[in-house]
Amino acid sequence: MNNTLKSTLYPNIAITDSAESWQLGFQDPATPIMEGIINLHHDLMFFICVISVFVSWMLGRTLWHFEQSQNSVPSSLTHGTLIEMIWTITPAFILLVIAVPSFSLLYAMDEIISPAITVKTLGHQWYWSYEYSDYFDENNESVNYDSYMIPEEDLQMGQYRLLEVDNRMVIPTNTHIRIIVTAADVLHSWAVPALGVKCDAIPGRLNQTSLFVKREGLYYGQCSEICGINHGFMPIVVEATSLPDYVSWISNKLSE
């Protein structure tokens, strides 16, 4: 995790989660779903490494012992019941072991648990719009706003190039949140790696996903579906705050 703490030097920067230079692994998880994804990945990597080493050893041993100079008389073996049973039953058992946690994770990703807040996310060419339809002001209008990328020349010290936006999506921590995702023009995809969420935004269709953020911070993502010439210039920033701070923020939005 790239930690940029609030300080007198960078008073507008909070703890942030974004990709680091030359990063190969996952970002630090902030949701139970992302924790499950990372754990499943580590479990799969164990099987992948064991299988890769075993297959490589078998291949190398075969090439060495059955090379023409080592074995001038070719083998006439064409069938082996035992070995065929082994290489059929063993992969089937491995797939069964992998299927149990993967199906459990897929179920958890699709589960929407009594959301306290619903946020509608609308993809445009090339920016995002957010609507908090649970709240209405005195004119009976919900909270909604657009989120554009901050141009490079307007960035402040400590902000990330091509990742900062003028209006972040603000949500409270330790709260079940439903995200409804769609698009106004072409295919987009709303994705935030540290939150373990990637949901396609399809015109004329509503997709939904859920969030339960466990810690405060800024979480960065980008559109993950090629949507046109400015596809790489519509970032996503989710700001997770404490519940009192969120209530204060939504109250200010309603009074604007």
pLDDT of residue 5: 35
Boundary-marking domain end, from 54, 82, 110: 110
Boundary-marking domain end, from 63, 79, 110: 110
Q: Is residue 10 part of a domain?
A: no
Flag whether pLDDT at 15 surpasses 80. no
pLDDT (mean) for 129-148: 88
Residues 251 and 179 in one domain: yes
Residues 88 and 171 in one domain: no
pTM of the model: 0.80
Flag whether pLDDT at 203 surpasses 50. yes
Residues 101 and 144 in one domain: no
Give 27's contacts (C-beta < 8 A, 6+ positions apart).
1, 17, 18, 19, 193, 194
Q: Is residue 70 part of a domain?
A: yes
Rg (the chain; Cα; Å): 25
Residues 62 and 183 in one domain: no
pLDDT of residue 247: 92
pLDDT (mean) for 172-190: 94
Residues 39 and 63 in one domain: yes
Q: How many domains does the chain have?
A: 2
Boundary-marking domain end, from 69, 91, 110: 110
Flag whether pLDDT at 197 surpasses 90. yes
Q: Is residue 27 part of a domain?
A: no
Q: What is the pLDDT of residues 155-166, one digit of tens each?
A: 888 888 899 999
Q: Is residue 202 part of a domain?
A: yes
pLDDT of residue 236: 94
Residues 243 and 124 in one domain: yes
pLDDT of residue 63: 85
Q: What is the pLDDT of residues 204-248, one digit of tens each?
A: 999 999 999 999 989 999 999 999 999 999 999 999 999 999 999
Domain that holds residue 87: 32-110
Token digits of residue 35: 């924790």
> How far apart, in Å, are the Cα atoms of 38 and each of 63, 113, 164, 189, 243?
37, 22, 26, 21, 27
Residues 137 and 239 in one domain: yes
Q: Is residue 192 part of a domain?
A: yes
| 3-class DSSP string for the chain | CCCCCCCCCCCCCCCEECCCCCCCCCCCCCCHHHHHHHHHHHHHHHHHHHHHHHHHHHHHHHHHHCCCCCCCCCCCCCCCHHHHHHHHHHHHHHHHHHHHHHHHHHHHHHCCCCCCEEEEEEEECCEEEEEEEEEECCCCCEEEEEECECCHHHCCCCCCCCCCECCCEEEECCCCEEEEEEECCCCEEEEEHHHCEEEEECECCCEEEEECCCCCEEEEEEECCCCCCCHHHCEEEEEEECHHHHHHHHHHHHHC
Residues 137 and 153 in one domain: yes
